[in-house]
Chain A
Amino acid sequence: MLLAVFACGMSLSAVGADAPPADFPFFPKSTPYLTASPAKKAVKVVKQKSGAAAPGFDYRQKAANEDALGFNMEAGGDSRNLEYMGPFGQILNGPLPIASIELQMDEDESVLLFYKPAHDNSSFAVSVLKEDGQQLKGRVSVKGSSTRGFIKKSLLVKLDKESKGDWYGYRKISLNSMASDPSMLREWLAWDLARAAGMNVLNTFYTRLYLNKKYVGLFLFTEWVGPEVFDRAGLGTDGELYQPNDATHCGDLSAASMDGPTQTTGKKLNRGNSCYEKFSPADGNMANLAQLANGITATPKDSYHEFVDSHFHNDSLLNWIVVNGILTNGDTYNKNYFLYYSNKVAQWEVMPWDYDLTMGRSWDPYLGAPRDVFNSNFVYYYGPDIGFPGQAKTKTLEDPVLFERLKRRTAHLLGIGKPYGDERTYGWFSPERVAARVNVIQNNTINDAQQDMFSSNRIYSYDEQADAIKYFALAHYAYLKAASVGDESKWQYVYDPNQPMNPAPTVASTLQASWTVQRPGYDRPLVDKSGKIASVIRVRSISKPVTITSTVLGFQTPPALPPERSANQCLKRSWELTTKGGGPLVADVTLEYLQENSQNSDARGLEGEQKDLQLWLLDGGIWTPQFTRVNVLSKTLTVRELSLAANRTLRFVACVDSPDVPSQQSSGAVSTKDVSVPTPIGKAFQHFIDNLKK
């Protein structure tokens, strides 16, 4: 009866269930040699430890262009062709790889799968329908931990032993809902970056899920991590596979972590007995892991790089920290990774896990669950040392050899300074190339996103989500270049165990940056010496060169307010743009405000919703409201085609009209209260009554 609510939601879709192409790169049987056209010809990534760029590549010219023109964040906007990394380190070009999977199960149980109590681990009978009509029987269950609270659940289909065959080579089909990341971009981009960094990681690709012939939504297929994933890198299948225990979150690879969950908390917590789980072989023998952890703790700082080079395969420990730093992944080093010991090469390989809370997402120590994890904060200004100060990480950063290698590899992937590896991965995560990837993925998945009945992007549009990711790429790049890995940065890592994990409340601050603009270009960040962005300016027209100075007064009530606006109706941040010399220019101006957590926020105490913010411009003593494009996710305010006269100072504040009631946070899905499923007994009783009526 009320099942119709669910069915109607799903029947909105008109997305086709296309079979993936024959040269789909992410199936187990795929190899670089299966790629069809010369354009897709596989190219092995050169090992990046000591590589140099090919002759003729001028990184200085690239930097000069970025300085003069900024970054084209609309690159690839009209294309469906994507540049991405294949599973064997090959660089591929072509349409976004998307697969489809069709499942069939009892209608009522298809509702229960998504709407039953979140932490029930029950499975239901399911069949995977293949293109040739074959039905593979199995069980489907909900997977994940905190993400179970979302209505759009991540799913795991396990095929029965009796069921012969597989789904494109997979018998365990793990589908991440991406519900915790409504942009549906973070994990895809993260795994792609990890591959570009030279890491051997699990196969991932977008997958459209159809359930009982109805489109449900876009998921990310996430290969089930087993020894065979590591065997792809020549590590054999007879090794040992570990993962830190997600519940105890104390697996930081220190010697103390082998003693259970006491070491990271200072007191015994009732979180179970172990910091690690051993999956394969499941014999509980942790001797090898203990030897590694003891070695990490015992090795002196000055020879730590030798220990790392001899114990970790493919530089995977360092690459993991590089990738986490670029992505601002703070949710790891004590959990969220796999560790494989290869008997074949007698080395360990680290494999990252769980990248949904990255690229600006941040844990809020001042909010209770689940808003501490799932919130609308956004962070840009954290260095490569972000994340739990586990011993494997801190000692890597304290070792001068590894520290230099980490900085150079990070800079290489961002496209900062001299290349440090394969030219083709130089600048893989530069703002422009990230933006191009985001734009192309959007072009390929916009229909999926709009028709995904569960997606919470009904609150914030898919465009807004994607724009926030692109702005993250721009701002974090600018910060890392200025503060951490650029030639002029002065970053020194010092581990202070007494430093609190949570940043202290931010105090009033001033940012300032200048830029002499010569000609129209793209998005050019004006970056303060601290690495923080004062403004992003896109010059559309200009007659003569002009020097623009951008000043920000943060975490303080603006010195002047628009008429009939109180301090609580305005952000505690104001901006100034001063032009000097030349003639007038027309530009798009983007100004950001900060909300790193609920306390460190320019919007703290705002009597209204951030989406209703409007920029006011003070020019010549007159306030005028500006048509403002607000991105609540990236915390940016944009005014398009603003005329800036020569030798003037323009002041901006951002205010809301009037106090407003905050809207209810919604998952965008049908509420449990509106869904009903009869129990089997209830259904039988109903049939009985119906038969009586007949």
Chain B
Amino acid sequence: MATYKSGMVAIGLLVASNVAVAGNWVRSEGEKAIGANLSYATANQFWNQNRVLGPFACGTHDNTGLGLNAEYGLSYHYTLIAQAGLHKIACGPNSASGLGDVAVGIRGRLDALSNGKAWELKLIVPGGYDAAAPVRLGYGEVGLEAGAYFGPPFDAYDEDPYKPGYFPKLDSYWEYGGFTRVWNGAPATEIAGHVKWKHAISDTWKIGPALNVHWTFGKGDRQFPNLFGNRFAYTRSVVVGVELSTLIGERTSFHITPQATVWGENAAKSVGVSVGVSKAFK
């Protein structure tokens, strides 16, 4: 309903950018929401830039992240969003931890009379990490992201979506969206899309598969050496997962999503899980 959590992108990317939390829900004026998403991913292998699978020279790559996001309903039309990720990434002797990229932006309605369809515009800034280190928390560049996200529609005849236990009264529905991200400097321009299908298994629980595709236009310019044995600042991946979600209290949602990267280029072949909680306050 409220926020699409995409921890999967970070797992596929390794180079974190774990600010990829996107939403199709525009908040009421004055409404506040906070969310936390804990993720863990591990990988022994990666796909190089020729999409050939091989082992990490440094051993096992582990990425533990805590994505945080906050939203505030500025007006009926716009919601302010702020996102940040704390990470601990390690591969053999190499490790890095701390604040990754930080994003601030705005979300707006694609349909003035409804909710569940939104655009986003975000500015991404590096959080002060060492972008030259072999294991790093991001590209170390400023980026600009524009996306559009879609979920089931809500209109004037719907019940109160803030009611505890509320879910769209649909046996199943789709959520999908995508974004493009342009960077200052070396990183390649990215384009990504996701699609989820959610199916009701009870009055409050939903389950369904999720697919996330990440692509770049070109391979970007050369940057600092990375764990994939090159200097290109780009990554391409396909991540699949299964999301189980529910509401655990008044305007409080929860999800757990096991996921795996099934195809990649300049990307880790990782498996992991993300667990998230978000809460809205009127």
Contacts and interface: CB of A to CB of B under 8 A. Distances in A.
Nearest to A678: B112
Contact of A117 (B30, B110, B155, B164): B155
B29 A117 contact: no
Nearest to B119: A681
Interface string A656-685: 000000000000000010011111111000
Looking at chain A's contact residues, the main secondary structure is loop
Interface in B113-152: 113-115, 119
A272 interface: yes
Interface string B142-186: 000000000000111111111011000000000000000000000
Contacts of B119: 681
B112 A119 contact: no
Contact of A672 (B108, B115, B155, B165): B155
Interface string A112-130: 1001111111111000000
Contacts of B165: 270
B110 A149 contact: no
Contacts of B157: 118, 149, 672
A108 interface: yes
Contacts of A369: 159
Interface stretch (B7-15, B69-77, B236-244, B263-271): B69-77
B249 interface: yes
Contacts of A679: 77, 108-112
A121 B282 contact: yes
Contacts of B112: 108, 112, 116, 676-679, 682
B109 A149 contact: no
B28 interface: yes
A675 B156 CA distance: 11
B156 A118 contact: yes
A676 B110 CA distance: 12
Given A119-B161, A121-B282, A272 B250 contact: yes
Nearest to B249: A270
Contacts of A108: 112
Contact of B115 (A117, A272, A680): A117
A273 to B, nearest CB: 10
A508 to B, nearest CB: 38
B108 A121 contact: no
Contacts of B28: 119-122
Given A112-B113, A117-B114, A270-B250, A122 B156 contact: no
Contact of B76 (A116, A118, A119, A675): A116
A344 interface: no
A134 to B, nearest CB: 26
A272 B163 CA distance: 11
Given A117-B155, A149-B156, A122 B29 contact: yes
Given A115-B156, A116-B113, A122 B73 contact: yes
Contacts of A677: 112-113
Nearest to B165: A270
B105 to A, nearest CB: 14
A109 B165 CA distance: 31
A679 to B, nearest CB: 5
A567 to B, nearest CB: 36
In this complex, the member of B28, B154, B156, B162 whose beta carbon has the largest number of chain A beta carbons within 10 angstroms is: B156
A116 to B, nearest CB: 6
Interface of A: 108-109, 112, 115-124, 148-149, 151, 270-272, 369-370, 672, 675-682
Interface of B: 28-31, 73, 75-77, 108-115, 119, 154-162, 164-165, 249-250, 282
Given A112-B112, A118-B158, 12 more contacts: A116-B113, A117-B154, A117-B161, A119-B28, A122-B76, A149-B157, A151-B156, A270-B164, A672-B113, A672-B155, A679-B77, A679-B109
